């Protein structure tokens, strides 16, 4: 086997372990020592101790060397008892696993287009088993990518039935993540609870100051100097779920409403794709009403 083949084999077998537990001495040691004792090499490590809440977080990427093999069941059996002694909540994932991402969208296509481009080029190493919309407008775009498109119209009267259809698709796809790529409908509290911790929404950062229709026109009238976007997990508090990441850029008096909107669309695309990447790479920990993010 050539050196490049060995390196590719090692990378394909790279694992990600994430854990959180009450703050106490020895938390880093218990994880890193076990990985070392199993003969594995640590590629990347991040940790954070929230001294206010007395909660510790850690994320480690590690891989076997060419003379070692990774046995998932054996690793889990051996580490479980050690983690229990520290009251750890932990997960183990294979880095090469392609998360199944269901995208929901309405008529605005900029975030969807950006995600599809990153998916098509391999920049986002994901699968997209379905695109769901309350409008038919973007069906051709989905079909061009060979992705099933589900058009579920919605009204105030049919919302429960429509969300039941959405949930059925999400379940059938065995989705790991749902992304609201400018899906311009408010999810019910029941749906938000089902998707808690694994659905990401994106919106402009002019909220809550400029609500409702034409926010960029409102912002223009007030002479705003910053335009941005917020990506957060869905919650039953509208647009107030745990924030994953935000983007912002400066603007000035020369930006008319259409210029502000164009700038906002660009930032939304970048911010949403970054949030998706960090989620699928297991870099985000929910921590009460906020999040801990180990950005790369």
Phi, psi of 18 (to 5 degrees): -125, 145
Which range has the worst mean pLDDT, 85-99, 157-171, 193-207, 277-291?
A: 193-207
First to last CA, the chain: 31
d(CA 148, CA 91): 31
83 and 162 both lie in a single domain:
no
Give the CATH number for residue 189.
Answer: 3.40.50.170
31 and 176 both lie in a single domain:
no
**133-234-270 Cα angle (round to 5):** 75
Domain coverage including residue 281: 99-293
206 and 284 both lie in a single domain:
yes
pLDDT tens-digit map of 189-200:
999 999 999 999
pLDDT tens-digit map of 50-99:
999 999 999 999 998 877 789 999 999 999 999 999 999 999 999 999 99
Which range has the worst mean pLDDT, 15-29, 146-160, 216-230, 281-295?
A: 216-230
SS (H, E, C) the chain: CCHHHHHHHHHHCCEEEEEEEECCCCHHHHHHHHHHHCCEEEEEEEEEEECCCCEEEEEEEEEECCCCCCCHHHHHHHHHHHHHCCCCEEEEEECCCCEEEEEEECCCCHHHHHHHHHHHHCCCCEEEEEEEECCCCCHHHHHHCCCCEEECCCCCCCHHHHHHHHHHHHHHCCCCEEEECCCCCCCCHHHHHHCCCCEEEEEECCCCCCCCCCHHHHHHHHCCCEEEEEEEECCCCCCCCCEEEEEEEECCCCCCHHHHHHHHHHHHHHHHHHHHHHHHCCCEEEECCEEEECCC
d(CA 217, CA 261): 9
67 and 119 both lie in a single domain:
no
Mean pLDDT of 251-261: 94
Last residue of a domain, one of 35, 61, 94: 94
180 and 71 both lie in a single domain:
no
pLDDT at residue 11, rounded to an integer: 61
90 and 117 both lie in a single domain:
no
Last residue of a domain, one of 94, 119, 138: 94
Which range has the worst mean pLDDT, 80-84, 153-157, 238-242, 268-272?
A: 238-242
d(CA 113, CA 119): 10
d(CA 239, CA 208): 9
Find the catalytic residue in 49, 50, 137, 239.
239
> Is 239 tagged catalytic?
yes
Give the CATH number for residue 32.
Answer: 3.30.70.260
Mean pLDDT of 244-256: 95
53 and 72 both lie in a single domain:
yes
254 pLDDT band (50/70/90 cuts)? very high
Last residue of a domain, one of 44, 76, 94: 94
With 0-12 / 13-18 / 19 or more C-beta atoms within 10 angstroms meaning exposed / middle / buried, residue 10 is middle
Neighbours of 83 (CB within 10 A): 18
75 and 115 both lie in a single domain:
no
CA distances to 59, 166, 167 from 175, rounded to whole Å, are: 23, 12, 10
103 and 89 both lie in a single domain:
no
184 and 228 both lie in a single domain:
yes
**Residues of the chain with pLDDT > 90: what percent?**
83
CA atoms within 13 A on the CB side of 113: 9
Q: Give this prediction's pTM.
A: 0.92
């Amino acid at each position: 086997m050539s050196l490049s083949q060995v390196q590719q084999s090692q990378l394909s077998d790279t694992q990600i372990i994430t854990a959180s537990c009450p703050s106490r001495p020895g938390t880093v040691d218990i994880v890193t020592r076990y990985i070392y004792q199993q003969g594995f090499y640590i590629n990347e490590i991040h940790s954070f101790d929230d001294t206010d809440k007395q909660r510790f977080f850690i994320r480690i990427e590690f891989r076997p060397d060419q003379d070692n093999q990774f046995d998932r069941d054996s690793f889990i059996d051996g580490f479980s008892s050690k983690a229990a002694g520290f009251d750890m909540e932990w997960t183990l994932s294979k880095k090469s696993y392609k998360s199944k991402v269901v995208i929901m969208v309405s008529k605005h296509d900029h975030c969807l287009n950006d995600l599809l481009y990153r998916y098509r080029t391999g920049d986002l190493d994901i699968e997209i088993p379905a695109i769901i919309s309350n409008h038919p407008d973007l069906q051709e775009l989905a079909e061009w990518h060979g992705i099933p498109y589900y058009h579920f119209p919605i009204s105030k009267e049919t919302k429960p039935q429509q969300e039941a259809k959405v949930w059925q698709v999400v379940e059938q796809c065995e989705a790991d993540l749902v992304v609201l790529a400018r899906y311009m409908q408010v999810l019910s509290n029941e749906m938000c609870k089902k998707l808690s911790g694994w659905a990401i929404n994106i919106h402009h950062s002019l909220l809550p100051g400029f609500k409702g229709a034409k926010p960029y026109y409102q912002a223009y009238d007030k002479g705003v100097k910053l335009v941005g976007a917020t990506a957060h997990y869905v919650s039953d508090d509208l647009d107030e779920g745990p924030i994953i990441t935000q983007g912002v850029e400066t603007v000035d008096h020369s930006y008319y409403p259409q210029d502000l909107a164009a700038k906002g669309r660009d930032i939304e695309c970048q911010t949403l794709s970054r949030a998706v990447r960090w989620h699928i790479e297991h870099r985000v920990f929910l921590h009460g009403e906020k999040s801990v993010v180990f950005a790369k």
